[in-house]
């Protein structure tokens, strides 16, 4: 099934899951480094994978925003998700 023909609620649900997974994957190296600085093995991979998941989630939220006939409630949720993901991406880029 194509991403562009999916239901808006399903797309927002998947964007939420990808965004949550991306934030957790990006937070994991920070927690590992603060607990034990010598266990810094996979921090680059986990951070990159987390940022990739966040970018995928943001693109899905923007895809929902670009659809033509969507309700105001779904449009608001997509805008809020885009804002939260943009702030988290900015945070993880600056760290």
pLDDT recorded at residue 55:
96
Q: Measured between alpha carbons, how far is 95 from 92 in angstroms, rounded to an integer?
A: 5
List the chain pLDDT tens, one digit each, 95 residues: 687 788 899 999 999 999 999 999 999 988 888 888 777 777 888 899 999 999 999 999 999 999 888 899 999 999 999 999 999 999 999 98
pLDDT recorded at residue 32:
86
3-state secondary structure of 1: coil
pLDDT recorded at residue 53:
97
pLDDT recorded at residue 39:
74
Q: Measured between alpha carbons, how far is 43 from 11 in angstroms, rounded to an integer?
A: 29
Q: CA gyration radius for the chain? A: 15
pLDDT recorded at residue 9:
92
Q: Sketch the domain layout of the chain as residue ranges.
A: 3-94
pLDDT recorded at residue 52:
96
pLDDT recorded at residue 3:
77
Task: Quote the tokens at residue 61.
Answer: 């939220």
Task: Quote the tokens at residue 94.
Answer: 């600056």
């Amino acid at each position: 099934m194509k991403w562009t023909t999916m239901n808006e609620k399903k797309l927002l649900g998947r964007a939420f899951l990808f965004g949550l997974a991306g934030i957790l994957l990006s937070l994991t190296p920070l927690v590992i480094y603060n607990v034990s600085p010598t266990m810094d093995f996979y921090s680059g991979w986990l951070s990159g994978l987390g940022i990739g998941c966040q970018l995928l989630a943001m693109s899905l939220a923007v895809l929902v925003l670009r659809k033509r006939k969507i309700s105001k409630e779904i449009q608001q949720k997509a805008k809020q998700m885009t804002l939260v993901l943009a702030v988290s991406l900015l945070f993880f880029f600056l760290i």
